[in-house]
């Protein structure tokens, strides 16, 4: 018989190879249940993504046993998956276009106070501030609503009950269009209650109460692995992967393909800082415009959107992921503006092989 209270620790991930017929890899999340008498039990959850963006508990059968709802992380397709505690899948679906690679946050909430749970989803990163509402079978109940107009990049979504009346509200942490990390408190219908600047991207851990055969235990889960061990804003460019990622207080906000310097025109390697920002810079040397310019080295190397020529021709996005520039770091349409609005003069820029 399981005791009344457990503390569950989520450990690092292990890759489990699939058969040759499998379409995607599976990653098992081992969770150890530690009981007060010192005994332990391990449970694993197979998921098609290598990290977790969100986790929620809900009791579908009202039988005293919680099921677990997972959301895929940034860099993955926006897949939500509902699992039993033995790791078997109840439901798996894509709330948004599977081609989107920003991940998804999924929470279980009682938005109407009717003691029935809905599943609320939000795309992460720059996937657009469109929150959708599903029933616990994955059926779309409502097209949902859009977050406040100044939301730019969503980092996390959670449910809260600020009034204690059984009617849940939603807390959205996102960068606004000025690049300020902000916490938005919304009603279940999407109306803004309040917003305030948020100091950090997410708590290091979340304590989640679960039930098993009517008894309570707790899951302590790391929301998001800290990737860059430094405070503030950091832009990281990886030349080998041709990717730019940006971080707030060590936590990843988004990652995008770039095009860096081709052979003979290397992109400088090292640690730098944003020196200046120009909405639409012009290069006399190459006779082209560079939207959302952010210089980071000698005022001559910068991060910018795909270049444009005076004739109106614009560099194609098919070059992203391939080093073809004259040393600058080129971003696609959309991501360039997003990073430009988020970054400040002085933001750290790290370029590595």
Measure the CA–CA gap between 217 and 85, rounded to whole angstroms: 13
Catalytic (active site) residue 328: yes
Q: Judge whether 156 and 121 are in contact, CB under 8 Å.
A: no
CA neighbor of 351 nearest in space, from 267, 292, 274: 267
Residues with Cβ within 8 Å of 214's Cβ and at least 6 positions away in sequence, in order, are 64, 65
Q: Which of 130, 319, 326, 328 is catalytic?
A: 328
Question: Which residue has tokens 């950090």?
Answer: 200
What letters, b where the CB count within 10 A reaches 16 and e where it falls short, cover 111-127?
beeeeebbbbbbbbbbb
DSSP bridge partners of 120 = 107, 133
Q: Which of 130, 304, 319, 326 is catalytic?
A: 304
DSSP annotation of 10 reads E
- Mode of pairing for the β-strands spanning 270-273 and 276-283: unpaired
Q: Judge whether 191 and 139 are in contact, CB under 8 Å.
A: no
Measure the CA–CA gap between 77 and 92, rounded to whole angstroms: 12
Question: Which residue has tokens 């860059």?
Answer: 228
Residues with Cβ within 8 Å of 210's Cβ and at least 6 positions away in sequence, in order, are 8, 57, 66, 68, 85, 216, 217, 218, 219
Sign of the torsion formed by the C-alpha atoms of 294, 300, 305 and 307: positive
Active site residues: 304, 328
């Amino acid at each position: 018989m399981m005791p009344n209270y457990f503390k569950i620790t989520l450990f690092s991930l292990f890759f489990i190879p699939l058969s040759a017929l499998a379409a995607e890899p599976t990653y098992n999340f081992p969770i150890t249940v530690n009981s007060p008498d010192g005994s332990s039990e391990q449970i694993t959850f197979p998921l098609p993504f290598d990290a977790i963006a969100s986790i929620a508990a809900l009791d579908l059968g009202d039988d005293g046993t919680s099921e677990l709802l997972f959301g895929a992380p940034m860099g993955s397709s926006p897949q939500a998956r509902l699992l039993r505690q033995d790791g078997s899948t109840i439901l798996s679906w894509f709330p948004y276009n599977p081609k989107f690679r920003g991940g998804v946050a999924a929470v279980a909430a009682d938005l109407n106070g009717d003691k029935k749970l809905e599943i609320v989803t939000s795309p992460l990163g720059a996937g657009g501030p469109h929150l959708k509402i599903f029933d616990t079978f994955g059926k779309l109940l409502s097209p949902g609503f859009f977050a406040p107009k100044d939301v730019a990049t969503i980092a996390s979504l959670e449910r809260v009950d600020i009034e204690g009346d059984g009617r849940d509200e939603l807390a959205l942490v996102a960068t606004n269009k000025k690049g300020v990390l902000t916490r938005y408190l919304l009603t279940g219908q999407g109306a803004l209650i309040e917003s305030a600047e948020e100091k950090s991207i997410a708590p290091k851990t979340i304590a989640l109460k679960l039930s098993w055969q009517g008894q309570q235990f707790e899951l302590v889960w790391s929301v998001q692995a800290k990737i860059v061990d430094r405070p503030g804003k950091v832009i990281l460019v990886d030349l080998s992967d041709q990717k730019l990622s940006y971080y707030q207080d060590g936590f990843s906000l988004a990652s995008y393909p770039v095009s860096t310097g081709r052979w003979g025109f290397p992109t400088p390697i090292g640690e730098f800082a944003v020196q200046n920002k120009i909405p639409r810079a012009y290069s006399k040397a190459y006779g082209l415009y560079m939207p959302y310019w952010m210089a980071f080295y000698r005022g001559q190397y910068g991060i910018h959107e795909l270049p444009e020529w005076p004739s109106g021709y614009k560099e194609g996005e098919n070059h992203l992921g391939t080093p073809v520039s004259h040393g600058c770091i080129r971003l696609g349409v959309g991501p360039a503006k997003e990073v430009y609005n988020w970054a400040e003069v002085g933001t750290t820029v790290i370029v590595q092989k």
